[in-house]
Structure 1
Amino acid sequence: MDLTVRYFAGARAAAGRTEETASAGRSLDELVGELAERHGPGLAAVLEVASFLVDGVRCHDRGTPLPAGVTIDVLPPFAGG
């Protein structure tokens, strides 16, 4: 089963796409590592400073396995106010 990863702002530019699917069942830290490997150092740098929402809720435990069907939003820091 899969989950959906959606990229916003600088994360979208670094990944070269607005969203993609990935396998569920692993932690957010593991998923972030896979995404960094898949898309290279540009996205890896963004992922280091990004916030992550799991089905609209900020993820505080990056070691908990992500269930199938969830949506992960990758939100880089935004400039301005």
Structure 2
Amino acid sequence: MPQIRVRFFAAAREAFGTKECSAEAATIDGLITTLTKDAAAEARTVISRSSFLVNAIAATDPHAALSEGDTVDVLPPFAGG
């Protein structure tokens, strides 16, 4: 299983209590499962509403393969004006 670098931004950073971690996952769906397995309810809620970038490119297919060394950014919805 590929080792993935995960970076959390804004509310995701707050919910997961870290700005970065590493995880093993073959797809975005797999990564979500891994990250939320033992996570608090707030973290599960935030990640369910988040968008993902894989190596700075929007991940539109949650089943697309991740590769060793990929960086996945977790971007929760942002509000602002």
Same-fold status (TM-score > 0.5): yes
Deviation at 1:38, TM superposition (A): 3.0
Which residue of structure 2 lines up, in the alignment, with residue 17 of structure 1? 18
Q: How does 1:1-81 map to 2 (within 5 A)?
A: 1-24=2-25, 26-81=26-81
Q: Distance in 1 between matches of 2:80 and 2:42?
A: 22
Q: Deviations over 1:59-81 (max 9, x none)?
A: 01110221010100000001113
Q: Unaligned stretches of 5+ in structure 1?
A: none
Q: How many residues align?
A: 80
User: TM-score, normalised on structure 2?
Assistant: 0.91
Q: Distance in 2 between matches of 1:17 and 1:36?
A: 14
User: TM-score, normalised on structure 1?
Assistant: 0.91
SS at match of 1:12: helix
SS at match of 1:38: coil
Superposed CA RMSD:
1.1
Q: Unaligned stretches of 5+ in structure 2?
A: none
Deviation at 1:40, TM superposition (A): 2.2
1:57 maps to a residue whose letter is I
